[in-house]
């Protein structure tokens, strides 16, 4: 009887270790993208991806997009609020120094508008 209790306790401990490991690795694989305005840095989880200059147009664009996620932002709205001149949406996205596969998932250009798809975006407090 005592051996059975020890075996059951060991199985429970192993199960808890495996579940904890699974949740830890899952969290790392599904890290969230966010913009730290104070540091002017885009992070994926706790890993910095892109450091931006505070007055650069890329910084202003990304701040605007993070403030307006999952919304088709018309080209004219970006001109009025950021650029003050004609722009090419494809070029704006191409100039953001993020990995191409990430840009393909985050940005959608259609009908003269730009959408920032924030399905994997989390804004920390």
The whole-model pTM stands at 0.70
Separation of alpha carbons 66 and 118, rounded Å? 8
Statement: residue 56 has pLDDT above 50: yes
% of the chain at pLDDT higher than 70: 84
82: closest CA among 71, 68, 103, 98? 68
pLDDT of residue 31: 62
Q: 31: buried, middle or exposed (CB in 10 Å: 19+, 13-18, 0-12)?
A: middle
- The tokens describing 63, both together, are 């701040």
Q: Reply yes or no on whether the pLDDT at 96 is more than 90.
A: yes
Quick check: helix, strand or coil at residue 39?
A: coil
**Mean pLDDT score, 65-86:** 95
Is the pLDDT reported for residue 30 higher than 70? no
Q: In what order do the strands lie in the sheet with 33-36?
A: 33-36, 41-44, 47-51
Sorting pLDDT into bands at 50, 70 and 90, what band is 28?
Answer: very low
């Amino acid at each position: 009887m005592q051996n059975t209790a020890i075996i059951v306790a060991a199985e429970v401990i192993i199960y808890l270790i495996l579940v904890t490991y699974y949740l830890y690795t899952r969290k790392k694989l599904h890290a969230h993208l966010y913009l730290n305005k104070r540091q002017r840095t885009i992070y994926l989880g706790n890993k910095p991806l892109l450091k931006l200059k505070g007055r650069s147009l890329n910084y202003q664009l990304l701040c605007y997009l993070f403030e307006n996620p999952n919304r088709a932002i018309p080209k004219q709205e970006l001109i009025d609020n950021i650029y003050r001149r004609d722009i090419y949406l494809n070029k704006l996205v191409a100039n953001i120094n993020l990995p191409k596969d990430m840009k393909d998932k985050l940005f959608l250009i259609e009908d003269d508008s730009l959408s920032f798809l924030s399905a994997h975006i989390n804004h920390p407090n």
